[in-house]
Structure 1
Amino acid sequence: MPARLQIKSEDCSPLGQLILQYLEEQGISMNHLAELSGIPQPRLRGACFKGTCPTPETLRKMARVIGKHHLELYTLAYKGRIENLPEDTDDSSLDLIMRELFETARELGLTAPKIRPSKAKIHKALLELGFSPENDECA
């Protein structure tokens, strides 16, 4: 049985809450997770708290161990830090879209592309998903 965590969920960012949940589900300690991921324990612990900025490398290492894509962890780590959203955009809508994309990809056995798709491919995919131009009267 792992040692009792001294980090409280209410002090954690969404990423930290995911890490705490993973520790509990796996029945492992933060030290063991740090060993598995190759992240120094103080850095892993620090990544759990609100207002911290884990490095992309930390997120990639963590993602490999917990079985998520590093961009999923990135959206959790930086949730609420995306600026200049349209006024009518719900704060959680981008997060929900990202989570839904990754969940669907996982269910279909798909992995994220190794290189960023072109704007044309992204545009085509968005149209196929039902997005429409703002000035489209038929929407």
Structure 2
Amino acid sequence: MPARLQIKAEDCSPLGQAILQYLEEQGISMNRLAELSGIPQPRLRGACFKGTCPTPETLRKLARVMGKHHLELYTLAYEGRIEPLPEDAANISLDLLMRELFETARELDLTAPIVRPSKAKIRKALLELGFRAEPTAATSQFEAG
């Protein structure tokens, strides 16, 4: 049984909460996770708290051990630090789309693919999601003629 954690979930960023959940699910200590990931324990512990900025390298190492995509951990790490979009902002923000993709993947217990999907597969998925080509001036003239 792992040692009782001294970190409280309410003191943690979304990344820290995910780390604590992983430790509980795996039944391992923070020291063991640090050892497995090759991250110094104080750095790993520090990455759990609100307002911290873990390095991309720390997130990559941690993601490998946790079986997550490093961009998912990046969105969790910086979730509280990204300014919310104004209410009148268009809902086509790339940041908003990335957050929604990773949140939905987490809810469905999905992980990012190991191999990057082909452009054809990405195009098909985007069309199925409702993306469409914006008519250009040339397209509009062609359709009008």
Per the normalisation by structure 1, the TM-score is: 0.74
**1:16 maps to which residue?**
16
Structure having the higher Rg: 2
8 Å Cα contact 2:13-2:80 kept in structure 1:
no
What is the alpha-carbon distance in structure 1 between the residues aligned to residue 134 and residue 48 of structure 2? 39
**Which residue of the other structure, out of 94, 97, 101, is the alignment partner of 1:97?**
101
Give the length in aligned residue pairs: 129
- Unaligned stretches of 5+ in structure 1? none
Per the normalisation by structure 2, the TM-score is: 0.71
Alpha-carbon shift at residue 32 of structure 1 (Å): 0.6
8 Å Cα contact 2:51-2:81 kept in structure 1:
no
More helix as a share of residues: 2
**Which residue of the other structure, out of 100, 111, 114, is the alignment partner of 1:111?**
114
Cα deviation 1:42-75 (Å, max 9, x = unaligned): 0000000001000000000000101000001001
What is the alpha-carbon distance in structure 1 between the residues aligned to residue 5 and residue 109 of structure 2? 32
The aligned amino acid for 1:2 is P
What is the alpha-carbon distance in structure 1 between the residues aligned to residue 85 and residue 115 of structure 2? 25
What is the alpha-carbon distance in structure 2 between the residues aligned to residue 55 and residue 123 of structure 1? 32
- Unaligned stretches of 5+ in structure 2? 136-145
What is the alpha-carbon distance in structure 1 between the residues aligned to residue 84 and residue 22 of structure 2? 32
RMSD, matched Cα: 3.3
Alpha-carbon shift at residue 131 of structure 1 (Å): 3.1
